[in-house]
Amino acid sequence: MRLDATDLRYITDEEFRVLQAAEMGSRNHEVVPTPLLAEISKLRGGNVAKLCGQLARRNLIARVANTRYDGYRLTYGGLDYLALKTFHKRKPPSVSGVGSKIGVGKESDIYLVQDGEGEKRVLKLHRLGRISFRAIKSKRDYLGKRASASWMYMSRLSAQKEFAFMKVLYDHGFPVPTPIDQSRHCVVMSLVDSQPLRAVMSVPDPAKLYGELMEMIMRFARASLIHGDFNEFNILIKRKTYEAVVIDFPQMVSTHHENAEYFFNRDVNCIRRFFRKRFRFEGTTWPVWADVVAEWDDHEKSLKAADAEGGSTAETEEKEEEKEVGTAASEEGAGVSKTEPSAAPAVKFETPALDVEEKDSEADDADEPQFLRLDLAVEASGFGRDMQRQLEDYMIEVQDIPNEDLSDEEEDDDDDDSDDDEGEEGKAPATEEAPEEAAAKLEKLRLHRLLGNDGDPDDEPPAPVSLYSEEEEEESDSGDSDDSVGPAPSDYTQYVRAPRAPRQRVNVSKVSKLGKVDELRETVAGEMARAARSQGPRTKGTSKVGRAKGHKWKSNASYQIGKDTGW
């Protein structure tokens, strides 16, 4: 739908109240009744009907025919006007004028706008539900736990998600447009002097641009995010510096998503395919999912090592502080006076050499990769705060599960031994399991619980319970002999009827050898004679159709079929 903001200046406040009432009523009604519009907007019924007619002529709302009641539904045009009205009411206003359309996608429209000071900006209108992209309910997780929702509500969720991703990425220094404002299904961002990568026919250094894009994919992965649609349509190239800027973030997923490896490899292959077709450039190296996993493993190991070193340094600092306190107390007891350091404050001088070292260290820190968990900050697809909380609860529950490897008898024996040997020393602590074995054990236990089983998955299955006593089983065993005829009498004996043999139909027209022409002619002649006999004239005893007993035409001679009739 095309955005026409010409009538926006002529919309009255009462008409906006009716539009807001239609938006609020759309939460529970596909077609909002007219009395409900009057109730929500707090206007008179006759006046509401008049205002609805005026809004319908501007295609801001639409009257739905063939319904049980008189009602209206909100259109994308009315939702656009409500969002633009919200942007204009900001202080300062985010949008004060709407320009021409500069882009269109399968789920959004891009317009050029300006703020109150005349600065140019970009307005993105999310319009889900188009014919070209109707599988969004199954391909995106906008709905969450909801079974269904309207396209306008999903457009609002898409805009909220994109603005959240853009804001957190901009705050952490990623090359994205500056997020400015968001309302309903609209997002306002800064205008970048660039063109999409699909429109770029040549670049000074394709290898350099290829390396920057691949490094950007890895940088997203280090922040626990995967773009999901990293291709030439969602990458902007600045006109002067040829630097890349990434756009379109609603489909971003977490690296903890179940299909994270598939999305990561798809982003990499999209860039490789485009550079091979457009610039005739084939990269010799490219990132793979194993690189992401390896980097995160190394990062976790370094964090554990740093925590261990931090604990040891903290203990040494505490001991030094205790020594200083002890020496100060002894000096005070001996009457030794100490000069106050405030009388002669120390002055620190910074030499140029130190400045150079500090700058080098800062540059090294900037070059080192930063590992972040931005998927938790924005609740990315596949892994949000709720899922993080559920995972922590599950880990606590798994840690509280007792070890059931020992049987009850062994536990009783251990209790008895512990009672007898109260004075003895306790047993040595058990050796810790390797992290890989512990992870495999947790995964096995999780699958065991998901299948509805209790206990430990390593336990042996219980022995089958016999339906008979031991004496009955012995009698049945002693009763078996070679002299017995027929099956042994038991409750499990079943007499199954033998299956009926299928009928064997002989095809008389089948010729064993096609070379025997005479035999083939005799067979065909016999079949034609048989068909002629079956369709021969009727005998005198048979009656015609019209004379048959019980026939509805038996008394009407005009309906009889024969040689003398007109038929």
Q: Which residues contact 496 (CB under 8 A, 6 or more apart)?
A: none
**Catalytic one among 229, 248, 267, 375?**
229
Q: Which residues contact 492 (CB under 8 A, 6 or more apart)?
A: none
| Residue 377 burial (CB count, 10 A) | 19
Task: Give, for 292, the enclosing helix (H) or strand (E).
Answer: helix 289-334
Q: CA-to-CA distance for 53 and 68, rounded, in angstroms?
A: 19
Q: Which residues contact 313 (CB under 8 A, 6 or more apart)?
A: none
Task: Give, for 439, the enclosing helix (H) or strand (E).
Answer: helix 435-450
Q: CA-to-CA distance for 398 and 19, rounded, in angstroms?
A: 53
Percent of the chain that is helix, strand, coil (3-state, to 5): 45, 10, 45
Extract the tokens encoding 285.
């190296």
229 is a catalytic site residue: yes
Q: CA-to-CA distance for 544 and 223, rounded, in angstroms?
A: 91
Cβ-contact 126, 107 below 8 angstroms: yes
| Residue 59 burial (CB count, 10 A) | 14
Q: CA-to-CA distance for 552 and 545, rounded, in angstroms?
A: 10
Extract the tokens encoding 292.
């992401």
Extract the tokens encoding 25.
């009523």
Residue 20, SS3 per DSSP: helix
Q: CA-to-CA distance for 102 and 109, rounded, in angstroms?
A: 8
Q: CA-to-CA distance for 181 and 153, rounded, in angstroms?
A: 18
Quickly list DSSP for 26-85.
TTT-SSEEHHHHHHHHT--HHHHHHHHHHHHHTTSEEEPSS-SS-EEEE-HHHHHHHHHH
β-strand pairing of 71-74 with 61-63 = antiparallel
Cβ-contact 287, 261 below 8 angstroms: no
Task: Give, for 297, the enclosing helix (H) or strand (E).
Answer: helix 289-334
Extract the tokens encoding 530.
């048989």
Cα 54 from chain centroid (whole Å): 42
Catalytically active residues are 229
